[in-house]
Every structure is written in structure tokens, then in C-alpha cells.
Amino acid sequence: MAKKKKEKSFSSFLNNPIDFTLVITILLLLGIGLVMVLSASSPSALSESGNSYAYFSKQLIFAILGLIAMSLISKIDYRFYQKFYKHAWLISLLLLAAVILVGKEVNGAKRWIYVTETLSFQPSEIVKFLMIIFYAGILVKNRDELQLYGKGFIKHCLLLVPIIGLLLLQPHLSASMVIIGIVCIIMIVAGCKFRHFLLTGVGVGGPLLTAAIALSPYRLERFVTFLDPWKDASDSGWQVIQSLYAIGSGGLFGVGLGDSKQKYLYIPEPHNDFIFSILAEEVGFIGCVVVLVLFAIFIWRGILIAMRAPDMFGSLIAVGITALVAIQVIINVAVVTSSMPATGMPLPFFSYRWYSIVYFTVRDGCFTQYFTCRSKIIVSGIWGRVLNPTNLRRRIK
């Protein structure tokens, strides 16, 4: 009589090997990001505080703290989060409501909660991860209803409405777009029909987005500036024009690390959302390709982890985190190259935001574990085993 297979214990889960390719990729991105923060922030830091290392030293400290947190969180069984997926939705509501009530307004937007006069954080960054946990949990629970339009698609979309509503009150359209994108990808992978998203997006999403832009003066100004930044080159078009100057002057190999001209107070806060412009200027097209390839490797490993996860919840968590990084990279690069209207979207692992770098390293800790899989991994299997909801559910059952 064959021995009954011993159920995997929590202690054995802690000893699982990690995906070293993903970890090395994260460390490379983080290391390059720190170098670029040092280079891009030096003039601004020297002008503001007299210390050219002011921004870099803070970024370095929080990067180390983030790596420590990532190593600790990677040891937690991800199934632990499934028990509290309903709490994730409630905590998200409370955090976003707290921003409206006690948040501090900066540059016309109330997105930050200040712990001290110098230490603040954006709850929307936490909400992004909480929404991944919530939707991974609820979609697993209701997976038999996902292909239905009412109970499967509409019901789960309505759960996102209060979250997006509170974000728009801040206002924080960019975070809303990211969260909507993540949720859509998770729902499609889980089993919702793509045509439901297409029909609803054209019929409802398009008009709502158009109204959100048209009824908001600053959003409308950004859209008009995107269409012709040189129309107001000294004001609303200044930042994106200087960004294009930086990218154009970098050429193939760049002007040299540390030799950027646009970082000398031409681009406002070059160490923040427009740090990719300084990267392009100093290390050129080749350097940008290297960084984008590293992000592509990150996404590739995320997909493999989703494919190799032992259950649907683990797959959806990995898909959500991978989608979060991918969406933010695409939007940030599109903004700095004037391929879409400007929005406050940090470049993961690069932009100077202490809470952003900590959040990204902590989130990555949730899926750095290397899930083994007996099946052969091939390119065609990405649809057959992950993106095809029927096969995914059959494999899980």
C-alpha cells in the first residue's frame, strides 16, 4: 500500500528555494536606481540643503530597509494573506478615507498622510497591494461565476467603485488607472471573459474617462500640453520639453554618467518621476535598453512564478504584482517620452520616493519564492496554462 503523501507544512514552506534570477534582477534594478538617484539629485540636493548626498542617503537607507523587509516577507506563506482578503478591502477604504480627512494638500492634491513634518507616505501605494490580495481572494472564492456577466463581471467591478471614487476625490487619477489595470488583468486571468471588458470599457469606461479629463481644468491642460507641448514651452510644456531634450542629447551611448545638463534645475525634481530622462541622457539608448531588458526579465519571471504557483490564489497574487510593475514602467516611460499626458507615476526601483522603494521591495518579497513545476515550460504554455482560465481552474481542481 502506497504511503499517503505528507501534506506540506508551514516549516517546509520556509525552506523553499527562491527565484534567484528574480532576486538578482531586483538587486540590479535597485543598484542602478540608487546610482541614478545620486547622479540626478545632486544639483537639487546641493541647492536645497547644501548636501549633494541628501536625497541619495535617504534612498539608500530605505532601500536597505526594503531589502530586509523583502527577505523576511519572502519567508511568509503567501496563503496566509488569503485568510484576510476581505479585510484588505475594508482597510483600503479606511486608508483612503483617512487621506480625505487628515491628509495634507500638496500642489493641489491631497494624497499624503504626514507622520511627522518630514516623513509622509501615500496610502494609495498600500492600497494597490491590498487590492491585489482582495481580488485574488474573492476571485478564487467565486471562480465558478466568473464567466457570467452579472454575477461574475459586474459584481466584482462594483466592488472597485468605492476605492476609485475615494482616489478621484484626492484627486489621484494615475493611481486609479493603475489599480483598474491590475484588477482587469487579474480578472481576465482568473476567468472573466475579455469581451465583457471590451464592451463595458467602450460603453462606460471611455465616456467616464473623457468626462474626468474634460471636467477637470488641470487634467485638460495636461492633455492639451501633451498634444502640443511647444505651445506653452515656458510653462505647462516646460517639463516634458526638457525631458525630450535630455533623451535626445543622450544619443546612443550617452554623455557620461554624472554629466547630465538637464538635471541642473532644468527638469523639476529630476530624481523623481522624470529620472528616466536623466538615465537616457547619461547612459544613452544602450543604457535604457539594458534597464528595460531588466524590467522585461522581472515580468518574465513573474509570469513563470504565476505558472508554477501551486494554487489559483498564488497565481493571481503573482500576476497582480507583475502587472503592477509592468503598468507603472509603461506609464512612466510613456510620460517622459511624451507618448501620453504627464501624470505623477514613479519608475519602480528608480524614482526618489522612500515609500515607493520600500513598497516595491516588500511586495516583491511576496513572490520571490521559486515554485516548482513538473510540466515543461514553453512559450505556448503561457496561454494554455495561465491565461486560459479553463485550463487554470482544471489544473487547480
Per-residue confidence (pLDDT) for residue 371, from 0 to 100? 42
Residue ending a domain, among 215, 246, 275, is 215
Please give the sequence-ordered ranges of beta strands (E in DSSP) within the chain, or none if there are none.
104-106, 109-114, 120-121
d(CA 376, CA 135): 29
For residue 1, pLDDT beyond 50? no
The verdict on 267 and 143 lying in the same domain is no
The answer to whether the peptide bond before residue 207 is cis (omega within 30 degrees of 0) is no
HEC sequence for 77-97: CCHHHHCCHHHHHHHHHHHHH
What average pLDDT does range 212-221 have in this prediction? 74
Other Cβ atoms closer than 10 A to 299: 16
How far CA 176 is from CA of 131, 138, 166, 212, in Å, comes to 11, 20, 9, 12
User: What percentage of the chain exceeds 70 in pLDDT?
Assistant: 84
Residue ending a domain, among 150, 183, 215, is 215
For residue 116, pLDDT beyond 80? no
d(CA 183, CA 138): 12
Of 384 and 200, the structure prediction assigns the larger pLDDT to 200
Sequence-distant (6+) residues with CB within 8 A of 292 are: 329, 333
The verdict on 100 and 201 lying in the same domain is yes
Per-residue confidence (pLDDT) for residue 35, from 0 to 100? 93
Where does the pLDDT of residue 322 fall: very low under 50, low under 70, confident under 90, or very high at 90 and above? very high
Mean pLDDT of the chain: 80
* Inter-residue contact 282 to 257 (CB < 8 Å): yes
Number of helical (H) and strand (E) elements in the chain, helices listed first: 18, 3
* Residues comprising the chain, all counted: 397
Per-residue confidence (pLDDT) for residue 394, from 0 to 100? 44
The verdict on 124 and 270 lying in the same domain is no
User: What percentage of the chain exceeds 90 in pLDDT?
Assistant: 31
Residues 127-137: pLDDT tens digits? 998 999 999 99
Q: Which DSSP symbol is given to 51?
A: -
By residue range, what is the domain housing residue 155? 79-215
Residues 53-80: pLDDT tens digits? 888 988 888 888 888 877 777 777 888 8
d(CA 344, CA 171): 11
* Inter-residue contact 347 to 245 (CB < 8 Å): no
Residue 8 lies in a domain: no
The verdict on 261 and 327 lying in the same domain is yes
Residue 389 lies in a domain: yes
First-residue to last-residue Cα distance in the chain: 25
Q: Which three cell numbers stand for residue 183?
A: 484588477
The answer to whether the peptide bond before residue 171 is cis (omega within 30 degrees of 0) is yes
Q: Which DSSP symbol is given to 350?
A: T
Where does the pLDDT of residue 357 fall: very low under 50, low under 70, confident under 90, or very high at 90 and above? low
Q: State the Rg of the chain over Cα.
A: 22
The verdict on 242 and 189 lying in the same domain is no
Where does the pLDDT of residue 16 fall: very low under 50, low under 70, confident under 90, or very high at 90 and above? low
What average pLDDT does range 355-370 have in this prediction? 54
The verdict on 108 and 157 lying in the same domain is yes
d(CA 207, CA 242): 32
Per-residue confidence (pLDDT) for residue 236, from 0 to 100? 79
For residue 386, pLDDT beyond 50? no
Per-residue confidence (pLDDT) for residue 119, from 0 to 100? 72
Number of domains observed in the structure of the chain: 2
Per-residue confidence (pLDDT) for residue 328, from 0 to 100? 92
pTM equals 0.84
Q: Which range has the worst mean pLDDT, 28-42, 108-122, 252-266?
A: 108-122
For residue 286, pLDDT beyond 70? yes
Sign of CA dihedral 233, 235, 236, 241: positive
Residue ending a domain, among 186, 215, 244, is 215
Per-residue confidence (pLDDT) for residue 21, from 0 to 100? 84
Residues 222-232: pLDDT tens digits? 787 888 888 87
Bridge-partner residues for 113, per DSSP?
Answer: 121
The verdict on 210 and 238 lying in the same domain is no
The verdict on 194 and 298 lying in the same domain is no
d(CA 305, CA 83): 21
Per-residue confidence (pLDDT) for residue 316, from 0 to 100? 92
